[in-house]
Structure 1
Amino acid sequence: MKYIVTHITHYIYQNAASLCHNIMIQTPKNLAFQQVEEHEQIIIPTPNYLDRQQDFFENERVHFSIERSHAKLSVTAKSTVNLWSPAWMSLNPSQTQPWEEVRDWLRSTQALNDIRQYYLQSKHVEFFEGLQEYTLLSFTPGRPIMEAMLDLNDRIYRDFSFTPGFTDISTPVSVVFATRKGVCQDYAHFSLACLRSIGLAARYVSGYIETLPPPGKPKMVGADASHAWIALYIPGHDWVEFDATNNLLVDDKHIRVAVGRDFADVTPLKGIIYSVGKQKMKVSVDVRRPEEL
């Protein structure tokens, strides 16, 4: 499957900014089942400084600065990406190892620290009363780990209501659980909290997903948005991805940009500006197949 992704961010300042420093994470990853055919970034005004680095999580970070007066900032990332079905799509969930074996393996010297770091709490993934009890309704004794995760995915999808605008990035995951409302990043953070609370390693995945319009309705440009889901580590099968927002075992319609402990590690665009007054931000994401253009 081939997709063309256009991610546009506009900032408009109430008063002109004299300087801004920014970090951008919007470059899709090259993986066994995902290859980037083309990628370009257009930044207006043209930066005075720009550098590309690979961060601790092997995401591409673009650092740029604009060192002159500007009233607007526009950042466009455009990518052409080829996707294939990951190997985990052929797994039989009932044939994966019991989840307790994976938990115990993570506590052993056989597990690398690069994996073990993902069973800890992080900035947006905290443990709270009732979390483990909710998780263990799916992760019953001796249950195969992938089968249990698919069940948890289904329960979150059914128990929670997708409610744009109800939460923001500062909303604690405990509030998301109490209200059963949120958006994709909340679903992802809650899924991570569940898994880590019982000692499993899971990480946050950011990217995009194709959004199909209702039958007979045209697809609107910019109607898509950045998306978030999770990956659970299963020994012998590496990181296996699940999307609770859509109740999916992730296949070839999710475009991966970055991974981390939570949203704080993969924020698409953040920075510091030197200005007085407020600013407005508008984000537009469009995901299309080439034949739709």
Structure 2
Amino acid sequence: MNYKVTHITDYIYDFPATLCHNLMFQIPPELAFQQVLEYSCEINPRPSSELEREDFFGNKYLYFSVERPHKNLTVKSTSVVQLSTPAWMSVKPAFTLPWEKVVELLHSTQTSTDIRQYYLESKHVQFVEGIQEYSLKSFTPNRPIMEAMMDLNTRIFEDFTFTPGFTDISTPLEKVFKHKKGVCQDFAHFSLACIRAIGLSARYVSGYLETLPPPGKPKLVGADASHAWIAVYVPGHGWVELDATNNLLVNDKHIRVAVGRDFADVTPLKGIVYSGSKQEMKVSVDVRNIEEG
């Protein structure tokens, strides 16, 4: 499956900003199941400095600054990727290790710190009251880890309502849990909290998802958005990805961009701006299956 992703971010300032420094996480990586065919980034006004680097988690990111007065900042990332079926799709969940055994391995020196760091709390992933009890309804004694993961994924999908506008990135996890409403970032953070609270390692994945239009309706340009899901470490199989927003084991319709402990590590575009006025941000994301036109 070949996809073209166009991600446009516009900042509009009431009065000119004199300086801004930015970090952008929108560069898709090369993976066993993801080949990057094209990537480009257009920034207007043209940056005074621009540098591509790799962060602690292995993600590529772009640093840039605009060091002259400007009332608008537009960042347009375009990528073309080819996706194939990930190896975990052929794993039989019933034959994976019992989840308690995985916890033992993670909390021993047999497992690297690169994996173990993902069973800790983080800025947006807190072990709120009741979270462990919610998780253990799926992670019953001696249950194979992938069976339990998929059961938890289904329960979150059924118990929570996708409600744009109910939360923003500052909304505490307690509120999401109490009202069982939110968007993909909330579902991902809640999933991570459930899994980490019982001692397993799970990380946040940011990227894009092909959004199919209703039957007979045209695809709306700009109707898509950035997406988020999780990856859980399964010994012998690596990081296995699940999407609670859509209740599925991630296959070949998710374009990966970055991984981290939570959203704060992989914010698509963040920075500091020097300005004495308010600003407005507009984001447009379009994901097209090139093979379907």
Residue in 2 that maps onto 1:254: 254
Deviation at 1:198, TM superposition (A): 0.1
SS in 1 for 2:40: strand
SS in 1 for 2:139: coil
Summarize deviations over 1:109-137 as a string: whole Å, max 9, x none.
Answer: 10000000000000000011111100000
**Kept after mapping to 1: 8 A contact 2:205/2:259:** yes
Give me the whole-angstrom Cα distance separating, in 2, the residues matched to 1:65 and 1:130: 44
Matches within 5 A, 1:144-183: 144-183=144-183
Deviation at 1:291, TM superposition (A): 3.8
Report the AA paired with residue 19 of structure 1.
L
TM-score for both structures, normalised by structure 2:
0.99
Give me the whole-angstrom Cα distance separating, in 2, the residues matched to 1:291 and 1:91: 28
SS in 1 for 2:80: strand
SS in 2 for 1:16: strand
Report the AA paired with residue 158 of structure 2.
R
Give me the whole-angstrom Cα distance separating, in 1, the residues matched to 2:98 and 2:92: 13
Residue in 2 that maps onto 1:71: 71
1:226 aligns with 2:226: yes
Give me the whole-angstrom Cα distance separating, in 2, the residues matched to 1:45 and 1:279: 16
SS in 2 for 1:135: helix
Give me the whole-angstrom Cα distance separating, in 1, the residues matched to 2:171 and 2:200: 23
1:196 aligns with 2:196: yes
Give me the whole-angstrom Cα distance separating, in 2, the residues matched to 1:292 and 1:18: 44
Give me the whole-angstrom Cα distance separating, in 1, the residues matched to 2:119 and 2:216: 44
Report the AA paired with residue 226 of structure 2.
S
Give me the whole-angstrom Cα distance separating, in 1, the residues matched to 2:21 and 2:248: 37
Residue in 1 that maps onto 2:131: 131
1:55 aligns with 2:55: yes
Give me the whole-angstrom Cα distance separating, in 2, the residues matched to 1:80 and 1:177: 36
Give me the whole-angstrom Cα distance separating, in 2, the residues matched to 1:112 and 1:291: 40
Give me the whole-angstrom Cα distance separating, in 2, the residues matched to 1:125 and 1:131: 11
Report the AA paired with residue 147 of structure 1.
E
Give me the whole-angstrom Cα distance separating, in 1, the residues matched to 2:177 and 2:61: 32
Residue in 1 that maps onto 2:121: 121
Give me the whole-angstrom Cα distance separating, in 1, the residues matched to 2:174 and 2:110: 33
Summarize deviations over 1:87-110 as a string: whole Å, max 9, x none.
Answer: 000111111110000000001110
SS in 1 for 2:116: helix
Deviation at 1:252, TM superposition (A): 0.3
Q: CA RMSD in A?
A: 0.6
Give me the whole-angstrom Cα distance separating, in 2, the residues matched to 1:129 and 1:23: 34
Report the AA paired with residue 164 of structure 2.
P
Deviation at 1:239, TM superposition (A): 0.2
Matches within 5 A, 1:270-289: 270-289=270-289
TM-score for both structures, normalised by structure 1:
0.99
Summarize deviations over 1:223-272 as a string: whole Å, max 9, x none.
Answer: 11000000000011000000000000000000000000000000000011
1:99 aligns with 2:99: yes
Residue in 2 that maps onto 1:187: 187
Residue in 2 that maps onto 1:22: 22
Moved over 3 A (4+): none
Summarize deviations over 1:156-195 as a string: whole Å, max 9, x none.
Answer: 0000000000001011111100110000000000000000
**Kept after mapping to 1: 8 A contact 2:2/2:291:** no
User: Cα distance 1:285–1:151, how it changes in 2: closer, same or farther (>3 A)?
Assistant: same
Extract unaligned runs of 5+ from structure 1.
Answer: none
Residue in 2 that maps onto 1:33: 33
Residue in 1 that maps onto 2:142: 142
Give me the whole-angstrom Cα distance separating, in 1, the residues matched to 2:94 and 2:291: 38
Give me the whole-angstrom Cα distance separating, in 2, the residues matched to 1:212 and 1:196: 32
Residue in 1 that maps onto 2:206: 206
Give me the whole-angstrom Cα distance separating, in 2, the residues matched to 1:288 and 1:64: 28
**Number of aligned residues:** 293
SS in 1 for 2:28: coil
Report the AA paired with residue 241 of structure 2.
E
SS in 2 for 1:150: helix
Between the two proteins, what is the percent identity of the paired residues? 69
